[in-house]
Amino acid sequence: MADFEIPELTGKRVVPKLVTDAMSHSAPHVADPELQEPLGYPGELVDNWEQVAIDKLGELKGKYRGLQVFLDACVRCGVCTDKCHFYLGTADPKNMPVGRQELLRSVYRRYYTRAGKWFPKLVGARDMTQEVLDEWYNYFHQCTECRRCSVFCPFGIDTAEFAMAGREILNSVGKGQKYANEVIGKALTIGNNLGLSGRAIADTLESLEEDVEEESGVKVRFPIDEKGAEVLLVVPSADFFAEPHVDGLIGYGKVLHQAGISWTFSSYAAEGGNFGLFIGSYNNTRELSRRVRKAALDLGVKRIVFGECGHAWRVAYSSLNTLAGPFDFLDPRYPVPQHICEITYDLMKRGVLKFDKSQNDHMVLTFHDSCNVARASRLGDMPGGQFTIPREIIKATCNHFVEMSPDTLYDATFCCGAGGGLLTDEIMEVRVKGAMPRMQAVKQVADNHGVTHMANMCAICKSQFTKIFPYYGFGKDMIVSVHQLVSSAIILDKQG
- Contact footprint for ligand SF4 (CB under 6 A): 74-80, 83-84, 86, 97-98, 100, 143-149, 153, 155, 157, 159-160, 163, 415
Q: Report the nearest approach of ligand SF4 to the CB of residue 79 (Å).
A: 4
What is the full DSSP assignment across 328-385?
TTS-TTS-SSEEHHHHHHHHHHTT---B-GGGGTT--EEE---HHHHHH---TTSTTH
Rg (CA), the chain: 23
Q: Report the nearest approach of ligand SF4 to the CB of residue 372 (Å).
A: 11
* CA–CA dist 466, 463 (Å, integer): 5
Q: Report the nearest approach of ligand SF4 to the CB of residue 356 (Å).
A: 39
Nearest to ligand SF4 of 148, 257 (CB atom): 148
Nearest to ligand SF4 of 20, 189 (CB atom): 20
Q: Report the nearest approach of ligand SF4 to the CB of residue 115 (Å).
A: 18
Q: Report the nearest approach of ligand SF4 to the CB of residue 76 (Å).
A: 5
Nearest to ligand SF4 of 133, 163 (CB atom): 163
Nearest to ligand SF4 of 74, 200 (CB atom): 74
Report the SS3 class of residue 95.
Answer: helix
Q: Report the nearest approach of ligand SF4 to the CB of residue 377 (Å).
A: 15
- In 163-185, which positions are buried (b, 16+ CB within 10 angstroms) versus exposed (e)? bbbbbbbbbbbbbbbbbbbbbbb
Residues 6+ apart with CB under 8 A from 108: 57, 61, 71, 116
* CA–CA dist 494, 234 (Å, integer): 27
Q: Give burial (CB, 10 Å; 0-12/13-18/19+) of 349.
A: exposed
Nearest to ligand SF4 of 84, 255 (CB atom): 84
Distance linking the first and last C-alpha atoms of the chain: 48
Q: Report the nearest approach of ligand SF4 to the CB of residue 101 (Å).
A: 6
Q: Report the nearest approach of ligand SF4 to the CB of residue 419 (Å).
A: 8
Q: What are phi and psi of 203, to 5 degrees?
A: -60, -45
* CA–CA dist 421, 430 (Å, integer): 12
* CA–CA dist 253, 264 (Å, integer): 10
Nearest to ligand SF4 of 98, 490 (CB atom): 98
Nearest to ligand SF4 of 148, 443 (CB atom): 148
What is residue 46's DSSP assignment?
-
Q: Report the nearest approach of ligand SF4 to the CB of residue 426 (Å).
A: 18
Nearest to ligand SF4 of 140, 469 (CB atom): 140
Nearest to ligand SF4 of 196, 432 (CB atom): 432
Strand order in the sheet with 231-234: 263-264, 231-234, 303-306, 338-339
Q: How far is CA 185 from the centre of its chain?
A: 18
